[in-house]
Amino acid sequence: MKLTEAKQQFISSWGAFGTHWGINRTMAQIHALLLVSADPMTQDDIMQDLTISRGNTNMNIRELINWGLVDRVIVTGERKEFFAAEKDIWKVVRQIVKERKKRELEPMLKLLDQLEEVEGDKRDKNIKSFVETVTGIKRLGKQADKTLDMMIRADENWFLGSLMKLFK
Amino acid sequence: MKLTEAKQQFISSWGAFGTHWGINRTMAQIHALLLVSADPMTQDDIMQDLTISRGNTNMNIRELINWGLVDRVIVTGERKEFFAAEKDIWKVVRQIVKERKKRELEPMLKLLDQLEEVEGDKRDKNIKSFVETVTGIKRLGKQADKTLDMMIRADENWFLGSLMKLFK
DNA sequence: TAAATGTTTCAAAAAGTTTTGAAAATTCAA
DNA sequence: TTGAATTTTCAAAACTTTTTGAAACATTTA
Protein backbone atom coordinates (compact mmCIF):
# COMPACT_ATOMS: atom_id res chain seq x y z
CA MET A 1 0.00 0.00 0.00
CA LYS A 2 1.22 3.49 -0.91
CA LEU A 3 1.61 6.16 1.74
CA THR A 4 -1.12 8.38 0.30
CA GLU A 5 -3.60 5.55 0.25
CA ALA A 6 -2.61 4.41 3.73
CA LYS A 7 -3.14 7.93 5.07
CA GLN A 8 -6.56 8.12 3.44
CA GLN A 9 -7.56 4.84 5.00
CA PHE A 10 -6.33 5.85 8.40
CA ILE A 11 -8.15 9.16 8.29
CA SER A 12 -11.39 7.67 7.15
CA SER A 13 -11.33 4.86 9.73
CA TRP A 14 -10.34 7.16 12.53
CA GLY A 15 -13.29 9.31 11.55
CA ALA A 16 -15.73 6.40 11.66
CA PHE A 17 -14.20 5.21 14.92
CA GLY A 18 -14.62 8.65 16.44
CA THR A 19 -18.33 8.77 15.71
CA HIS A 20 -18.78 5.75 18.02
CA TRP A 21 -17.21 7.76 20.77
CA GLY A 22 -19.25 10.94 20.59
CA ILE A 23 -16.68 12.76 18.48
CA ASN A 24 -17.90 14.04 15.15
CA ARG A 25 -16.49 12.70 11.94
CA THR A 26 -14.70 15.87 10.87
CA MET A 27 -13.09 16.45 14.23
CA ALA A 28 -11.74 12.91 14.25
CA GLN A 29 -10.53 13.23 10.66
CA ILE A 30 -8.66 16.44 11.32
CA HIS A 31 -7.11 14.80 14.34
CA ALA A 32 -6.12 11.78 12.25
CA LEU A 33 -4.65 13.98 9.52
CA LEU A 34 -2.52 15.89 11.99
CA LEU A 35 -1.49 12.68 13.75
CA VAL A 36 0.04 11.20 10.61
CA SER A 37 1.51 14.32 9.07
CA ALA A 38 5.18 14.92 9.62
CA ASP A 39 4.87 18.71 9.85
CA PRO A 40 2.37 21.14 11.35
CA MET A 41 -0.38 22.25 8.96
CA THR A 42 -2.35 25.44 8.37
CA GLN A 43 -6.11 25.73 8.27
CA ASP A 44 -5.95 26.01 4.48
CA ASP A 45 -3.85 22.85 4.18
CA ILE A 46 -6.41 20.95 6.23
CA MET A 47 -9.35 22.38 4.29
CA GLN A 48 -7.84 21.30 1.02
CA ASP A 49 -6.70 17.88 2.18
CA LEU A 50 -10.08 16.92 3.57
CA THR A 51 -12.15 19.06 1.16
CA ILE A 52 -14.20 20.64 3.88
CA SER A 53 -15.31 24.24 4.33
CA ARG A 54 -13.38 26.94 6.11
CA GLY A 55 -15.97 27.26 8.87
CA ASN A 56 -16.09 23.58 9.55
CA THR A 57 -12.31 23.37 9.68
CA ASN A 58 -12.01 26.29 12.03
CA MET A 59 -14.72 25.06 14.37
CA ASN A 60 -13.28 21.59 14.73
CA ILE A 61 -9.69 22.72 15.12
CA ARG A 62 -10.84 24.90 17.96
CA GLU A 63 -12.67 21.97 19.53
CA LEU A 64 -9.54 19.82 19.24
CA ILE A 65 -7.56 22.53 20.97
CA ASN A 66 -10.19 22.64 23.74
CA TRP A 67 -9.77 18.93 24.24
CA GLY A 68 -6.01 19.43 24.46
CA LEU A 69 -5.37 17.14 21.49
CA VAL A 70 -4.01 19.76 19.11
CA ASP A 71 -1.72 22.75 19.63
CA ARG A 72 -1.21 25.96 17.77
CA VAL A 73 2.34 26.10 16.55
CA ILE A 74 4.12 29.29 15.61
CA VAL A 75 6.37 29.01 12.59
CA THR A 76 8.80 31.91 12.39
CA GLY A 77 8.49 33.98 9.28
CA GLU A 78 4.93 32.77 8.63
CA ARG A 79 1.86 34.87 9.15
CA LYS A 80 -0.54 31.94 9.23
CA GLU A 81 -1.16 29.78 12.26
CA PHE A 82 0.00 26.17 12.14
CA PHE A 83 -1.48 23.23 13.98
CA ALA A 84 0.03 20.00 15.24
CA ALA A 85 -1.43 17.00 17.06
CA GLU A 86 0.01 15.60 20.23
CA LYS A 87 1.72 12.46 18.95
CA ASP A 88 2.29 10.63 22.19
CA ILE A 89 -0.79 8.45 22.00
CA TRP A 90 -0.71 7.66 25.68
CA LYS A 91 -0.96 11.37 26.47
CA VAL A 92 -3.88 11.60 24.04
CA VAL A 93 -5.73 8.83 25.84
CA ARG A 94 -5.07 10.37 29.24
CA GLN A 95 -6.27 13.72 28.00
CA ILE A 96 -9.51 12.25 26.66
CA VAL A 97 -10.13 10.23 29.80
CA LYS A 98 -9.56 13.31 31.93
CA GLU A 99 -12.03 15.43 29.96
CA ARG A 100 -14.74 12.82 29.74
CA LYS A 101 -14.42 11.98 33.41
CA LYS A 102 -14.97 15.62 34.25
CA ARG A 103 -17.82 16.14 31.81
CA GLU A 104 -19.70 12.88 32.30
CA LEU A 105 -18.69 10.66 35.18
CA GLU A 106 -18.39 13.31 37.87
CA PRO A 107 -21.84 14.89 37.29
CA MET A 108 -23.41 11.43 37.24
CA LEU A 109 -21.85 10.54 40.59
CA LYS A 110 -23.08 13.79 42.07
CA LEU A 111 -26.61 12.99 40.93
CA LEU A 112 -26.47 9.45 42.30
CA ASP A 113 -25.53 10.81 45.72
CA GLN A 114 -28.73 12.81 45.73
CA LEU A 115 -30.92 10.02 44.40
CA GLU A 116 -29.75 7.59 47.04
CA GLU A 117 -31.49 9.70 49.66
CA VAL A 118 -34.98 9.14 48.31
CA GLU A 119 -37.72 9.57 50.97
CA GLY A 120 -39.82 6.69 52.27
CA ASP A 121 -39.85 3.31 53.88
CA LYS A 122 -36.77 1.34 52.87
CA ARG A 123 -38.75 -1.89 53.25
CA ASP A 124 -41.08 -0.91 50.41
CA LYS A 125 -40.18 -3.16 47.51
CA ASN A 126 -40.09 -0.30 45.02
CA ILE A 127 -37.89 1.91 47.11
CA LYS A 128 -35.61 -0.98 47.92
CA SER A 129 -35.13 -1.84 44.28
CA PHE A 130 -34.41 1.77 43.38
CA VAL A 131 -31.92 2.34 46.17
CA GLU A 132 -30.13 -0.92 45.50
CA THR A 133 -29.66 -0.11 41.84
CA VAL A 134 -28.48 3.41 42.53
CA THR A 135 -26.10 2.25 45.23
CA GLY A 136 -24.67 -0.42 42.95
CA ILE A 137 -24.03 2.03 40.16
CA LYS A 138 -22.53 4.53 42.54
CA ARG A 139 -20.18 1.96 44.00
CA LEU A 140 -18.86 0.98 40.59
CA GLY A 141 -18.76 4.60 39.45
CA LYS A 142 -16.69 5.69 42.43
CA GLN A 143 -14.30 2.83 41.84
CA ALA A 144 -13.95 3.75 38.19
CA ASP A 145 -13.39 7.35 39.17
CA LYS A 146 -10.52 6.43 41.47
CA THR A 147 -8.97 4.06 38.98
CA LEU A 148 -9.10 6.63 36.21
CA ASP A 149 -7.54 9.22 38.48
CA MET A 150 -4.58 6.95 39.05
CA MET A 151 -4.33 6.26 35.37
CA ILE A 152 -4.36 9.95 34.51
CA ARG A 153 -1.58 10.64 36.95
CA ALA A 154 0.40 7.59 35.98
CA ASP A 155 3.32 7.44 33.68
CA GLU A 156 3.06 5.10 30.73
CA ASN A 157 5.69 2.66 31.80
CA TRP A 158 4.42 2.47 35.30
CA PHE A 159 0.95 1.71 34.07
CA LEU A 160 1.89 -0.81 31.43
CA GLY A 161 4.38 -2.43 33.77
CA SER A 162 1.87 -2.83 36.54
CA LEU A 163 -0.78 -4.19 34.27
CA MET A 164 1.61 -6.66 32.75
CA LYS A 165 2.49 -7.99 36.18
CA LEU A 166 -1.12 -8.07 37.23
CA PHE A 167 -2.63 -9.68 34.19
CA LYS A 168 0.04 -12.11 33.08
CA MET B 1 -37.12 13.67 47.08
CA LYS B 2 -40.06 11.38 46.33
CA LEU B 3 -39.49 8.03 44.61
CA THR B 4 -41.40 9.02 41.47
CA GLU B 5 -39.36 12.15 41.03
CA ALA B 6 -36.13 10.31 41.75
CA LYS B 7 -36.95 7.72 39.13
CA GLN B 8 -37.74 10.43 36.59
CA GLN B 9 -34.43 12.09 37.27
CA PHE B 10 -32.53 8.88 37.02
CA ILE B 11 -34.18 7.93 33.73
CA SER B 12 -33.61 11.30 32.17
CA SER B 13 -29.96 11.51 33.24
CA TRP B 14 -29.21 7.98 32.20
CA GLY B 15 -30.71 8.86 28.83
CA ALA B 16 -28.48 11.92 28.44
CA PHE B 17 -25.48 9.94 29.67
CA GLY B 18 -26.15 7.24 27.11
CA THR B 19 -26.10 9.65 24.18
CA HIS B 20 -22.46 10.44 25.04
CA TRP B 21 -21.69 6.79 24.65
CA GLY B 22 -23.24 6.08 21.29
CA ILE B 23 -26.47 4.72 22.77
CA ASN B 24 -29.62 6.48 21.75
CA ARG B 25 -31.69 8.35 24.28
CA THR B 26 -34.68 6.02 24.21
CA MET B 27 -32.63 2.89 24.50
CA ALA B 28 -30.84 4.29 27.54
CA GLN B 29 -34.12 5.45 29.06
CA ILE B 30 -35.79 2.08 28.70
CA HIS B 31 -32.73 0.51 30.23
CA ALA B 32 -32.86 2.97 33.13
CA LEU B 33 -36.57 2.38 33.67
CA LEU B 34 -36.10 -1.37 33.84
CA LEU B 35 -33.07 -0.99 36.08
CA VAL B 36 -34.99 0.84 38.78
CA SER B 37 -38.29 -0.99 38.56
CA ALA B 38 -38.89 -3.71 41.11
CA ASP B 39 -40.80 -5.97 38.72
CA PRO B 40 -40.55 -6.90 35.05
CA MET B 41 -42.58 -4.69 32.72
CA THR B 42 -44.49 -5.18 29.49
CA GLN B 43 -44.01 -3.25 26.29
CA ASP B 44 -47.23 -1.33 27.03
CA ASP B 45 -46.06 -0.40 30.54
CA ILE B 46 -42.85 1.00 29.09
CA MET B 47 -44.65 2.88 26.29
CA GLN B 48 -46.94 4.55 28.78
CA ASP B 49 -44.28 5.31 31.37
CA LEU B 50 -41.98 6.99 28.87
CA THR B 51 -44.73 8.21 26.50
CA ILE B 52 -43.09 6.85 23.39
CA SER B 53 -44.57 5.01 20.44
CA ARG B 54 -45.05 1.29 20.18
CA GLY B 55 -42.56 0.93 17.33
CA ASN B 56 -39.88 2.86 19.12
CA THR B 57 -40.37 0.84 22.28
CA ASN B 58 -40.23 -2.45 20.45
CA MET B 59 -37.16 -1.54 18.44
CA ASN B 60 -35.14 -0.42 21.42
CA ILE B 61 -36.16 -3.32 23.65
CA ARG B 62 -34.91 -5.63 20.95
CA GLU B 63 -31.65 -3.73 20.75
CA LEU B 64 -31.22 -3.97 24.52
CA ILE B 65 -31.80 -7.71 24.29
CA ASN B 66 -29.15 -7.89 21.53
CA TRP B 67 -26.70 -6.16 23.81
CA GLY B 68 -27.51 -8.66 26.54
CA LEU B 69 -28.70 -5.93 28.90
CA VAL B 70 -32.37 -6.92 29.06
CA ASP B 71 -34.08 -10.30 29.17
CA ARG B 72 -37.52 -11.50 28.21
CA VAL B 73 -39.25 -12.86 31.28
CA ILE B 74 -42.16 -15.27 31.18
CA VAL B 75 -44.78 -14.62 33.79
CA THR B 76 -47.05 -17.61 34.25
CA GLY B 77 -50.69 -16.94 33.52
CA GLU B 78 -49.87 -13.84 31.44
CA ARG B 79 -50.17 -13.66 27.69
CA LYS B 80 -47.89 -10.65 27.27
CA GLU B 81 -44.12 -10.74 27.31
CA PHE B 82 -42.36 -9.10 30.22
CA PHE B 83 -38.92 -7.54 30.25
CA ALA B 84 -36.35 -7.11 32.98
CA ALA B 85 -32.90 -5.52 33.07
CA GLU B 86 -29.81 -7.26 34.33
CA LYS B 87 -29.37 -5.60 37.73
CA ASP B 88 -25.81 -6.63 38.49
CA ILE B 89 -24.16 -3.48 37.24
CA TRP B 90 -20.79 -5.12 36.98
CA LYS B 91 -22.22 -7.68 34.56
CA VAL B 92 -23.75 -4.82 32.59
CA VAL B 93 -20.38 -3.11 32.25
CA ARG B 94 -18.65 -6.31 31.21
CA GLN B 95 -21.34 -6.98 28.65
CA ILE B 96 -20.97 -3.53 27.13
CA VAL B 97 -17.18 -3.70 27.10
CA LYS B 98 -17.32 -7.08 25.40
CA GLU B 99 -19.64 -5.88 22.64
CA ARG B 100 -17.83 -2.66 21.94
CA LYS B 101 -14.46 -4.34 21.92
CA LYS B 102 -15.71 -6.73 19.28
CA ARG B 103 -17.44 -4.07 17.19
CA GLU B 104 -14.84 -1.30 17.41
CA LEU B 105 -11.45 -2.11 18.89
CA GLU B 106 -10.83 -5.38 17.07
CA PRO B 107 -11.52 -4.08 13.53
CA MET B 108 -9.34 -1.05 14.24
CA LEU B 109 -6.42 -3.24 15.30
CA LYS B 110 -6.80 -5.34 12.17
CA LEU B 111 -6.60 -2.21 10.03
CA LEU B 112 -3.54 -0.89 11.85
CA ASP B 113 -1.72 -4.14 11.14
CA GLN B 114 -2.21 -3.53 7.44
CA LEU B 115 -1.33 0.14 7.54
CA GLU B 116 1.94 -0.51 9.31
CA GLU B 117 3.20 -2.23 6.19
CA VAL B 118 3.13 0.84 4.00
CA GLU B 119 5.56 0.70 1.05
CA GLY B 120 8.56 2.95 0.74
CA ASP B 121 11.79 4.14 2.28
CA LYS B 122 11.48 4.13 6.06
CA ARG B 123 13.96 7.02 6.22
CA ASP B 124 11.55 9.30 4.38
CA LYS B 125 10.28 11.77 6.97
CA ASN B 126 6.65 11.35 5.92
CA ILE B 127 6.72 7.59 6.00
CA LYS B 128 8.54 7.61 9.29
CA SER B 129 5.97 9.87 10.90
CA PHE B 130 3.10 7.74 9.61
CA VAL B 131 4.57 4.44 10.71
CA GLU B 132 5.51 5.78 14.12
CA THR B 133 2.01 7.01 14.79
CA VAL B 134 0.39 3.82 13.60
CA THR B 135 2.77 1.67 15.61
CA GLY B 136 2.13 3.73 18.72
CA ILE B 137 -1.60 3.41 18.42
CA LYS B 138 -1.37 -0.29 17.71
CA ARG B 139 0.82 -0.86 20.75
CA LEU B 140 -1.61 0.86 23.07
CA GLY B 141 -4.60 -0.74 21.35
CA LYS B 142 -3.19 -4.24 21.77
CA GLN B 143 -2.52 -3.57 25.41
CA ALA B 144 -6.05 -2.27 25.93
CA ASP B 145 -7.39 -5.33 24.14
CA LYS B 146 -5.56 -7.68 26.50
CA THR B 147 -6.53 -5.75 29.57
CA LEU B 148 -10.18 -5.69 28.60
CA ASP B 149 -10.11 -9.43 27.93
CA MET B 150 -8.91 -10.02 31.46
CA MET B 151 -11.54 -7.70 32.80
CA ILE B 152 -14.32 -9.45 30.89
CA ARG B 153 -13.25 -12.80 32.23
CA ALA B 154 -12.68 -11.53 35.72
CA ASP B 155 -15.00 -11.81 38.62
CA GLU B 156 -15.99 -8.59 40.34
CA ASN B 157 -14.20 -9.21 43.57
CA TRP B 158 -11.06 -10.33 41.92
CA PHE B 159 -10.98 -7.23 39.77
CA LEU B 160 -11.81 -4.73 42.47
CA GLY B 161 -9.50 -6.48 44.89
CA SER B 162 -6.57 -6.42 42.52
CA LEU B 163 -7.11 -2.82 41.57
CA MET B 164 -7.40 -1.81 45.18
CA LYS B 165 -4.07 -3.40 45.93
CA LEU B 166 -2.50 -1.90 42.87
CA PHE B 167 -3.79 1.62 43.15
CA LYS B 168 -3.82 2.25 46.87
C1' DT C 1 -61.37 -22.30 12.37
C1' DA C 2 -62.09 -17.32 13.54
C1' DA C 3 -61.49 -13.68 16.64
C1' DA C 4 -58.79 -11.48 19.83
C1' DT C 5 -54.63 -10.22 21.59
C1' DG C 6 -49.97 -9.22 21.15
C1' DT C 7 -45.53 -8.20 18.35
C1' DT C 8 -42.85 -6.55 14.51
C1' DT C 9 -41.94 -3.88 10.43
C1' DC C 10 -41.03 0.08 7.81
C1' DA C 11 -42.03 4.35 5.04
C1' DA C 12 -42.71 8.86 6.04
C1' DA C 13 -42.26 12.73 9.37
C1' DA C 14 -39.86 14.96 12.98
C1' DA C 15 -35.93 16.05 15.45
C1' DG C 16 -31.19 16.59 15.90
C1' DT C 17 -26.51 17.36 14.12
C1' DT C 18 -23.13 18.86 11.00
C1' DT C 19 -21.59 21.62 7.21
C1' DT C 20 -21.39 25.49 4.28
C1' DG C 21 -20.01 30.00 2.87
C1' DA C 22 -20.39 34.73 3.00
C1' DA C 23 -19.91 38.48 6.11
C1' DA C 24 -17.85 40.35 10.29
C1' DA C 25 -14.03 40.70 13.21
C1' DT C 26 -9.26 40.56 14.11
C1' DT C 27 -4.38 40.87 13.27
C1' DC C 28 -0.35 42.57 11.27
C1' DA C 29 2.84 45.15 8.19
C1' DA C 30 3.75 49.25 6.04
C1' DT D 1 -3.85 55.01 10.43
C1' DT D 2 -4.99 51.84 6.16
C1' DG D 3 -5.73 47.73 3.85
C1' DA D 4 -4.47 43.08 2.91
C1' DA D 5 -4.28 38.64 5.05
C1' DT D 6 -6.20 35.66 8.21
C1' DT D 7 -9.49 33.92 11.52
C1' DT D 8 -14.05 33.58 13.49
C1' DT D 9 -19.03 33.63 13.55
C1' DC D 10 -23.54 32.12 12.51
C1' DA D 11 -27.94 31.56 9.84
C1' DA D 12 -29.46 28.63 6.49
C1' DA D 13 -28.95 24.20 3.98
C1' DA D 14 -27.68 19.46 3.86
C1' DC D 15 -27.41 15.42 6.03
C1' DT D 16 -28.22 11.86 9.69
C1' DT D 17 -30.70 9.71 13.15
C1' DT D 18 -34.70 8.84 15.65
C1' DT D 19 -39.56 8.45 16.15
C1' DT D 20 -44.18 7.64 14.82
C1' DG D 21 -48.16 4.94 13.75
C1' DA D 22 -50.67 2.21 10.85
C1' DA D 23 -50.48 -2.12 8.55
C1' DA D 24 -48.72 -6.77 8.43
C1' DC D 25 -47.56 -10.65 10.89
C1' DA D 26 -47.79 -14.09 14.70
C1' DT D 27 -49.72 -16.42 18.50
C1' DT D 28 -53.18 -17.87 21.60
C1' DT D 29 -57.89 -18.78 23.01
C1' DA D 30 -62.50 -20.10 22.40
| Domain extents in chain A | 3-85, 89-167
Distance CA A44, CA B49 (A): 51
Strand order of the sheet with strand A70-73? Answer: A41-42, A82-85, A70-73
| Per-residue pLDDT at A159 | 59
Which among B126, B133, B167 is the nearest to A35, CB-wise? Answer: B133
- pLDDT category at B153 given cuts 50, 70, 90 is confident
Residue B133 and residue A36 in contact, taking contact as beta carbons nearer than 8 Å:
yes
Residue B52 and residue B89 in contact, taking contact as beta carbons nearer than 8 Å:
no
Residues of A in contact with B127 (CB under 8 A): 3
- CATH number of the domain at B3-85, out of 3.40.50.1110, 1.10.8.50, 1.10.10.10, 3.40.30.10? 1.10.10.10
Asked if the Cβ of residue B59 lies within 7 A of any atom of strand C, the reply is yes
More confident residue, B69 or A168: B69
Residues of A in contact with B122 (CB under 8 A): none
Could you tell me if A51 lies within 8 Å of chain B, comparing CB atoms? Answer: no
Could you tell me if B134 lies within 8 Å of chain A, comparing CB atoms? Answer: yes
Q: Which residues are within 8 A (CB) of A42 and not within 5 positions of it... i.e. 6 or more apart?
A: A80, A81, A82, A83
Exposed/middle/buried for residue A37 (C-beta within 10 Å: 0-12, 13-18, 19+):
buried
Q: In the predicted model, is pLDDT for residue B168 greater than 50?
A: no
Residues of A in contact with B35 (CB under 8 A): 133
**Cα-based torsion angle of the residue sequence B127, B131, B134, B137 in order, rounded to the nearest 10 degrees:** -130
| Per-residue pLDDT at B166 | 56
Q: In the predicted model, is pLDDT for residue B167 greater than 60?
A: no
State the average pLDDT over residues A37-62.
97
Q: In the predicted model, is pLDDT for residue A116 greater than 80?
A: yes
Of the candidates B19, B49, B144, B85, which has an alpha carbon nearest to the alpha carbon of residue A137? B85
Residue A28: CB atoms within 10 Å: 23
Q: In the predicted model, is pLDDT for residue A55 greater than 90?
A: yes
Nucleotides of D under 7 A from a protein CB: 5-11, 17-23, 28-29
For B32-52, what is each residue's pLDDT tens digit?
Answer: 999 999 999 999 999 999 999
